[in-house]
Amino acid sequence: MHQSQLTAADCVSEVIRGHNLNHVFERHFDQHRHITAQQKSVAIFLAYGAIRFLGENQFFIRKLINKKITNKKIEALLCVALYQLNHDQSRDFTVVNEAVEAAKLINKSWAGSFVNGVLRNFIRQKEKLQTELKSHEEAFYSYPLWWIKLIK
Protein backbone atom coordinates (compact mmCIF):
# COMPACT_ATOMS: atom_id res chain seq x y z
CA MET A 1 0.00 0.00 0.00
CA HIS A 2 2.88 2.42 0.61
CA GLN A 3 3.58 2.63 -3.14
CA SER A 4 -0.06 3.59 -3.72
CA GLN A 5 0.08 6.17 -0.91
CA LEU A 6 3.26 7.65 -2.37
CA THR A 7 1.79 7.77 -5.87
CA ALA A 8 -1.38 9.41 -4.55
CA ALA A 9 0.74 11.90 -2.59
CA ASP A 10 2.72 12.78 -5.74
CA CYS A 11 -0.53 13.48 -7.57
CA VAL A 12 -2.13 15.40 -4.69
CA SER A 13 0.95 17.63 -4.35
CA GLU A 14 0.63 18.53 -8.04
CA VAL A 15 -3.06 19.38 -7.61
CA ILE A 16 -2.23 21.61 -4.62
CA ARG A 17 0.15 23.44 -6.98
CA GLY A 18 -2.78 24.05 -9.35
CA HIS A 19 -2.63 21.19 -11.84
CA ASN A 20 -5.63 19.18 -13.08
CA LEU A 21 -5.84 15.79 -11.36
CA ASN A 22 -6.73 13.86 -14.53
CA HIS A 23 -3.75 15.34 -16.38
CA VAL A 24 -1.52 14.60 -13.39
CA PHE A 25 -2.65 10.95 -13.37
CA GLU A 26 -2.03 10.61 -17.08
CA ARG A 27 1.46 12.13 -16.90
CA HIS A 28 2.41 10.26 -13.72
CA PHE A 29 1.35 6.83 -14.95
CA ASP A 30 3.07 7.40 -18.30
CA GLN A 31 6.33 8.16 -16.46
CA HIS A 32 5.99 5.33 -13.92
CA ARG A 33 5.05 2.29 -15.93
CA HIS A 34 6.26 -0.05 -13.17
CA ILE A 35 3.15 0.73 -11.10
CA THR A 36 0.78 -2.25 -11.19
CA ALA A 37 -2.89 -1.96 -12.11
CA GLN A 38 -3.89 -2.62 -8.50
CA GLN A 39 -1.50 0.06 -7.16
CA LYS A 40 -2.81 2.45 -9.79
CA SER A 41 -6.44 1.83 -8.77
CA VAL A 42 -5.67 2.32 -5.09
CA ALA A 43 -3.63 5.46 -5.81
CA ILE A 44 -6.49 6.98 -7.82
CA PHE A 45 -8.98 6.16 -5.06
CA LEU A 46 -6.71 7.69 -2.39
CA ALA A 47 -5.91 10.81 -4.43
CA TYR A 48 -9.57 11.56 -5.14
CA GLY A 49 -10.43 11.04 -1.48
CA ALA A 50 -7.58 13.21 -0.23
CA ILE A 51 -8.59 15.99 -2.65
CA ARG A 52 -12.29 15.69 -1.76
CA PHE A 53 -11.45 16.19 1.92
CA LEU A 54 -8.49 18.54 1.39
CA GLY A 55 -9.90 21.30 3.60
CA GLU A 56 -10.47 18.82 6.40
CA ASN A 57 -7.01 17.27 5.99
CA GLN A 58 -5.27 20.65 5.97
CA PHE A 59 -7.23 21.70 9.06
CA PHE A 60 -5.98 18.63 10.92
CA ILE A 61 -2.41 19.26 9.74
CA ARG A 62 -2.55 22.88 10.98
CA LYS A 63 -3.81 21.67 14.36
CA LEU A 64 -1.17 18.95 14.69
CA ILE A 65 1.91 20.83 13.47
CA ASN A 66 3.06 24.16 14.87
CA LYS A 67 4.87 25.38 11.78
CA LYS A 68 4.23 25.23 8.05
CA ILE A 69 5.42 22.14 6.21
CA THR A 70 7.88 23.19 3.53
CA ASN A 71 8.01 19.81 1.79
CA LYS A 72 4.77 19.60 -0.21
CA LYS A 73 5.18 15.90 -0.88
CA ILE A 74 5.21 15.17 2.86
CA GLU A 75 2.17 17.42 3.32
CA ALA A 76 0.36 15.56 0.53
CA LEU A 77 1.31 12.18 2.04
CA LEU A 78 -0.17 13.33 5.36
CA CYS A 79 -3.35 14.38 3.52
CA VAL A 80 -3.63 10.93 1.95
CA ALA A 81 -3.03 9.14 5.27
CA LEU A 82 -5.45 11.43 7.14
CA TYR A 83 -8.09 10.72 4.52
CA GLN A 84 -7.56 7.00 5.10
CA LEU A 85 -7.71 7.37 8.89
CA ASN A 86 -10.99 9.29 8.67
CA HIS A 87 -12.86 7.83 5.71
CA ASP A 88 -11.38 4.47 4.76
CA GLN A 89 -11.89 1.00 6.22
CA SER A 90 -8.16 0.39 6.68
CA ARG A 91 -6.87 -0.22 10.18
CA ASP A 92 -5.12 2.73 11.79
CA PHE A 93 -1.84 0.91 12.46
CA THR A 94 -1.68 -0.26 8.84
CA VAL A 95 -2.23 3.25 7.48
CA VAL A 96 0.45 4.70 9.79
CA ASN A 97 2.97 1.95 9.05
CA GLU A 98 2.50 2.22 5.28
CA ALA A 99 2.67 6.03 5.38
CA VAL A 100 5.95 5.82 7.31
CA GLU A 101 7.33 3.41 4.69
CA ALA A 102 6.18 5.77 1.91
CA ALA A 103 7.80 8.72 3.69
CA LYS A 104 11.12 6.88 3.84
CA LEU A 105 11.02 6.59 0.03
CA ILE A 106 10.95 10.39 -0.25
CA ASN A 107 14.63 10.35 0.79
CA LYS A 108 14.39 12.74 3.69
CA SER A 109 16.02 11.28 6.80
CA TRP A 110 13.49 12.92 9.11
CA ALA A 111 10.36 12.11 7.08
CA GLY A 112 9.51 8.67 8.48
CA SER A 113 9.61 9.66 12.14
CA PHE A 114 7.85 12.96 11.40
CA VAL A 115 4.95 11.26 9.60
CA ASN A 116 4.76 8.60 12.32
CA GLY A 117 4.54 11.26 15.05
CA VAL A 118 1.92 13.37 13.30
CA LEU A 119 -0.35 10.44 12.46
CA ARG A 120 -0.09 8.82 15.90
CA ASN A 121 -0.84 12.20 17.47
CA PHE A 122 -3.89 12.48 15.22
CA ILE A 123 -5.14 9.05 16.29
CA ARG A 124 -4.79 10.05 19.97
CA GLN A 125 -6.67 13.33 19.44
CA LYS A 126 -9.09 12.16 16.74
CA GLU A 127 -12.38 12.74 18.61
CA LYS A 128 -11.32 16.17 19.87
CA LEU A 129 -10.11 17.28 16.43
CA GLN A 130 -13.26 16.03 14.70
CA THR A 131 -15.36 18.02 17.18
CA GLU A 132 -13.28 21.16 16.50
CA LEU A 133 -13.64 20.57 12.76
CA LYS A 134 -17.42 20.98 12.94
CA SER A 135 -17.05 24.61 14.06
CA HIS A 136 -14.87 25.50 11.04
CA GLU A 137 -17.21 25.44 8.04
CA GLU A 138 -14.52 25.94 5.42
CA ALA A 139 -12.60 22.89 6.66
CA PHE A 140 -15.71 20.84 7.46
CA TYR A 141 -17.25 21.24 4.00
CA SER A 142 -13.91 21.49 2.14
CA TYR A 143 -15.18 24.50 0.21
CA PRO A 144 -14.09 28.15 0.31
CA LEU A 145 -15.99 30.29 2.81
CA TRP A 146 -17.32 32.61 0.06
CA TRP A 147 -18.94 29.59 -1.63
CA ILE A 148 -20.50 28.36 1.61
CA LYS A 149 -21.96 31.83 2.28
CA LEU A 150 -23.31 32.02 -1.26
CA ILE A 151 -25.09 28.67 -0.88
CA LYS A 152 -26.63 29.63 2.47
d(CA 110, CA 127): 28
Q: What is the CATH number of the domain that holds 69?
A: 1.10.940.10
Residue 42: what are its φ and ψ, rounded to 5°? -65, -40
Q: How confident is the model at residue 136 (pLDDT cuts 50, 70, 90)?
A: confident
> Can you give the pLDDT at residue 25?
92
> Can you give the pLDDT at residue 70?
86
Which pTM was predicted? 0.90
Q: How many domains does the chain have?
A: 1
pLDDT digits (tens, 9 = 90+) for 5-30: 999 999 999 999 999 999 999 998 98
Element holding 60 (H helix, E strand): helix 54-64
Residues 6+ apart with CB under 8 A from 107: none
Q: How many other β-carbons are positioned within 10 Å of the β-carbon of residue 19?
A: 13
pLDDT digits (tens, 9 = 90+) for 58-109: 999 999 998 888 899 999 999 999 999 999 989 999 999 999 999 999 878 8
Burial 66-90 (b: 16+ CB within 10 A, else e): eeeeeeebbbbbbbbbbbbbbeeee
Domain that holds residue 20: 2-151
Residues in the chain: 152
